[in-house]
Amino acid sequence: MPSRRSALSLLAGGSAALVLAAAAPAAHAHGRPDAHRPFGRYGSPSRRLDAATLYVDVHGRGDHTTVQAAVDAATGPGRTLVIAPGTYRETVGIPADRTGLTLIGASGDPHDTVIVYGNANGTPRPDGSGTYGTSGSATVTARPAGLTAHGLTFANDWLRADHPEYTGTQAVAIKVQGDRSAFYGCRFLGHQDTLYADSPALSDFARQYYRDCYVEGDVDFVFGRATAVLDRCHFRTLTRTDLAAAPYGFVFAPSTAGANPHGYLVLRSAVTSTAPDGYFRLARPWVPSSDLTAHPMLTVRDSLLGAGIDTDEPYGTMAAGFPWQEQRFAEYHNTGPGARVTVPANRPRLTAAEARLHTPAAWFGDWRPSRRAAAHS
């Protein structure tokens, strides 16, 4: 099996070690990028769709060669960045004032356009001021409200095997903080803490939507305090060579604020695994030291749970004093070998009446996510 780095080196060419369960629709053949039209159906600097659109191409055929340079130039609300196929090895910070920003992978296939870097929690900062920490390890940090992304891969290729001396092995692919953030047909690759679906403050209940996305990892690889709906997504748990026994890790680790009525909602999705059967648990609650009043919430419904999930103990506890049984965890109408009920007390389930309240409409209130990139077709 290829290493994380060797697998990522193939992605820009269209190959992949792993495949999306439900990929975003690719552009028609006549509109796909090629050597002469790296931005495909989305125009180019010489035939710009509109004044608010900027083009990024690592080979120099756009307005900018890095995503960060394009973000820096995209001042004002409602800008669009069209990103040509390629591997963009960089960290990207998107400030909160880039409201309504849209990021588009020009081919429509997330395997083609990869934003990747390799920092971990324990990686020393170059200036000697300490280590990056979990948030600082993120390849992409997205702060603005109204962010939309289509057909991109966000990755962190840091490997434990390269640094066995590190104790801080969290390595975030993307940290999303803004309200009304939406991701369509994107991939999120990493190991520990891959997708950080969060909010800017305890009092901000940031709403986020992930549709037809692929997320892989091993420990708490979808985590944070956002009000997040993960719809028709594929979650892939990875095997580990540094552990001799189960559990290898956990898929979800919500840290929902106690005052927030809505945490993570996973629906019409699938959880599969490269690890032996029963070596992963579905979730554990994260009650961070910065918010001991957190009341983590996760609902998984109408989804396929593969054999990688431990049916006897599908949930775990992260910190003493905050057992999973006292959190807001629930399931409804799941299928697959990992959904089998072997210990009823360990599978909290919604009633039909309760399930009617666990929907995207309830989570989002007055917000209805939309695929804005379709307007550029």
Which has more pLDDT, 1 or 115?
A: 115
pLDDT digits (tens, 9 = 90+) for 283-335: 999 999 999 999 999 999 999 999 999 999 999 999 999 999 999 999 999 99
Alpha-carbon separation of residue 221 from 127, 180, 201, 251 (angstroms): 29, 21, 21, 6
Look at residue 374 and tell me whether its pLDDT is greater than 90: no
Angle (CA) 219-225-227 rounded to 5° is 115
Range in 2-6, 88-92, 117-121 the model is least confident about: 2-6
CB 159 within 8 A of CB 7: no
Bridge-based pairing of strands 328-332 and 280-283 is unpaired
Average the pLDDT over 17-44 and give the result.
Answer: 66
Model confidence band, residue 36 (pLDDT cutoffs 50, 70, 90): confident
For residue 351, give both structure tokens: 């009633």
3-state secondary structure of 180: coil
Look at residue 25 and tell me whether its pLDDT is greater than 80: no
- Please, which residues bridge with residue 306 across strands? none
Residue in this structure with the two tokens 């400030």, named with its chain if needed: 95
% of the chain beyond a pLDDT of 70? 90
Catalytic residue among 193, 198, 231, 310: 193
Catalytic residue among 63, 220, 231, 310: 220
Q: Return the number of other C-beta atoms located less than 10 Å from residue 192's C-beta.
A: 24
How much is the pLDDT for 371?
Answer: 77
Average the pLDDT over 43-61 and give the result.
Answer: 97
How much is the pLDDT for 97?
Answer: 97
**Whole-angstrom distance, CA of residue 56 vs CA of residue 86:** 10
**Whole-angstrom distance, CA of residue 145 vs CA of residue 357:** 25
Model confidence band, residue 142 (pLDDT cutoffs 50, 70, 90): very high
Active site residue 310: no
**Whole-angstrom distance, CA of residue 38 vs CA of residue 203:** 42
Residue in this structure with the two tokens 């629906």, named with its chain if needed: 267
How much is the pLDDT for 9?
Answer: 40
Say which residues have a Cβ less than 8 Å from residue 42's Cβ, sequence separation at least 6: 49, 53, 55, 82, 104, 106, 376
Q: Model pTM greater than 0.85?
A: yes
Look at residue 14 and tell me whether its pLDDT is greater than 50: no
CB 299 within 8 A of CB 333: no
- Output the average pLDDT for the chain: 92
Model confidence band, residue 11 (pLDDT cutoffs 50, 70, 90): very low
How much is the pLDDT for 20?
Answer: 32
Average the pLDDT over 106-124 and give the result.
Answer: 98
Active site residue 193: yes
How much is the pLDDT for 31?
Answer: 76
Q: Return the number of other C-beta atoms located less than 10 Å from residue 374's C-beta.
A: 10
Range in 50-59, 73-82, 188-197, 366-375 the model is least confident about: 366-375
Look at residue 376 and tell me whether its pLDDT is greater than 90: no
